[in-house]
Amino acid sequence: MLTDISEHPLASHYLTVLRNKETCSEDFRRASDCMTRLLIAEASRILEVDTFTVETPLEVTQGAAIKAGVVVVPILRAGLGMLDAALEILPSASVGYIGLERDEETAIASCYYSKFPELTDVQRVFVIDPMLATGGSARDAISQIKKLGANKVTMVCIVAAPEGIKLLNDAFPEVDVIAGVVDRQLDTRKYILPGLGDFGDRLFAT
């Protein structure tokens, strides 16, 4: 299932900051953090909670806490730009890492690093990557995660292309995709249009 939050006024605002080629790295990072918080809050709607009673200053009422077993997996390197904000929303989450590098000519990604916590009995794995373009990196990351025993996976991205959504849905129809916005298409270089350029380069000023 696809959820696109671009109609949210705050999402629309921060997406515009990210798209603007005149946005400096500092403002780009701030907008990325804000978008990530919105996306993780939306993605977290499906999380399970434990309920218990809690005392307010006035009386006893019912409370809730997120059940253990949430894992956040950034796809390196651009996914690192979403990690801190994701952990602000889910501070008790464990973190896994997967490094996938895309060949600029073929657009095929190869894995150069991976490290994960135990995934067999986790409640939910959130894979985070700002750009879901061809979908190859997301598909490869989720494939590795599922091989390690995770059954409930959600893909969280700031900008997605229809091509990437289709590829991911064809490979893993059970995986939810939470996107800031779904853009028009990929260009011949596999960049998203209208997009926002190379997210990692703009985030890290490289």
DSSP character at residue 68: S
- Tens of pLDDT, residues 18-56: 999 999 999 999 999 999 999 999 999 999 999 999 999
Percent of the chain with pLDDT over 90: 83
* 19 is annotated as an active-site residue: no
Say which of 27, 106, 121, 187 is annotated catalytic.
106
- pLDDT at res. 108: 65
- pTM score: 0.91
Q: What is the mean pLDDT of the chain?
A: 93
Closest CA to 85 of 40, 121, 51: 40
Say which of 3, 23, 102, 176 is annotated catalytic.
102
* 202 is annotated as an active-site residue: no
C-alpha 39/C-alpha 15 separation (Å) is 12
- pLDDT at res. 107: 57
* 84 is annotated as an active-site residue: no
Closest CA to 36 of 156, 162, 195: 156
Say which of 50, 84, 170, 201 is annotated catalytic.
201
Instruction: Determine contact, residues 89/110, Cβ cutoff 8 Å.
Output: no
Average pLDDT of the residues in 175-187: 96
Q: Is 80 exposed, middle or buried (0-12, 13-18, 19+ CB in 10 A)?
A: middle
Q: Can you point out the beta strands (E) in 5-152?
A: 49-55, 60-66, 70-76, 94-95, 97-102, 109-115, 124-128, 131-132
Which two tokens mark 125? Answer: 């794995």
* 50 is annotated as an active-site residue: no
